[in-house]
Amino acid sequence: MSYLIYRGPSLIDRAPIFAALTGIEIPSSNPKTGPMAQIWVLRDDIPPIEAVHTGQDVSVCGDCKLRGDGTGKQRSCYVQVWQAPNNVFKHRHKLKPAPPKIYDGRAIRFGAYGEVSVIPVHLVADIHRRAKMTTGYTHQWKTTDPEFKHYLMASCDSVEERELAKEKGWATFRIKQPHEFLEAGEVLCPASKEAGMKKQCITCGLCAGVRPNGKSIDVVINVHGAGQRHFGGVT
Ligand code: SF4
């Protein structure tokens, strides 16, 4: 059973989008995250592959550089949109409204595809409050509601971006080239190959934004996934 969390306009461009919760009966088998339930954010009117190839994925991905050039080229996002996202899209009219208690005590990954900063922040806050733990990321940290910093990591693609995000008070998740070093205050993602895959997200939980006490740990991972050769314009 999968559930509908939101159906309405994108906070980026007001295009029709929806957010779905999956993995309740059968949690994700993703070896990096562990068995977490997942939230997907997709266009409601066009399949995700069409959205990627026409640039209309901006409604759910914003200005994330990993999207590529808006035609499907130069894409470095690790998500293969014709797989799981397309499956969620195809079955979107069978989704049941999510009962509030569905989140209680669960481990939930925000934005298995798309990002939750395009849906109202109070929905994300409520899920975070009810869940046992959540992880999530946003590339929209320069422009989005700063309230999201309590639930999401600022995705950064360079040291300069991370410095700007820190000035704005975000916890950061930086993708780097393998030869780059860690900066002060950063730790390697323990689920990464370069850190020896010591943990999964479900047992780590660092990527939950700035904590209520104002503290945070910034995370780094080497670029990975199918499109990694396009990262930073390298082809
Ligand atoms: S730092 Fe922890 S929560 Fe974040 S991606 Fe890595 S394993 Fe997952």
pLDDT tens digits along 162-178: 999 999 999 999 999 99
Pocket of ligand 1 (CB under 6 A): 135, 189-191, 199, 201, 204-207, 219
Greatest CA span in the chain, whole angstroms?
47
Q: How confident is the model at residue 1 (pLDDT cuts 50, 70, 90)?
A: confident
Instruction: Tokens 């993708």: give the residue.
Output: 175
Report which ligand 1 atom has the smallest distance to the Cα of 135: 3
Over range 104-110, report the average pLDDT.
96
Half-sphere exposure of 158 (CA within 13 A, CB side): 8
Q: What is the pLDDT of residues 39-54, one digit of tens each?
A: 999 999 999 999 999 9
pLDDT at 26: 83
Torsion of CA 175, 178, 181, 183, to 10 degrees: 10
CB 144 within 8 A of CB 154: no
Does the pLDDT at position 85 exceed 80?
Answer: yes
From ligand 1's centre to the CA of 199, what distance in Å?
8
CB 40 within 8 A of CB 88: yes
Report which ligand 1 atom has the smallest distance to the Cα of 192: 6
Report which ligand 1 atom has the smallest distance to the Cα of 208: 3
Q: Tell me which amino acid residue 22 is.
A: T
Over range 210-214, report the average pLDDT.
92
Residue of 96, 78, 145 lying closest to 116 (CA atoms): 145
Q: How confident is the model at residue 227 (pLDDT cuts 50, 70, 90)?
A: very low
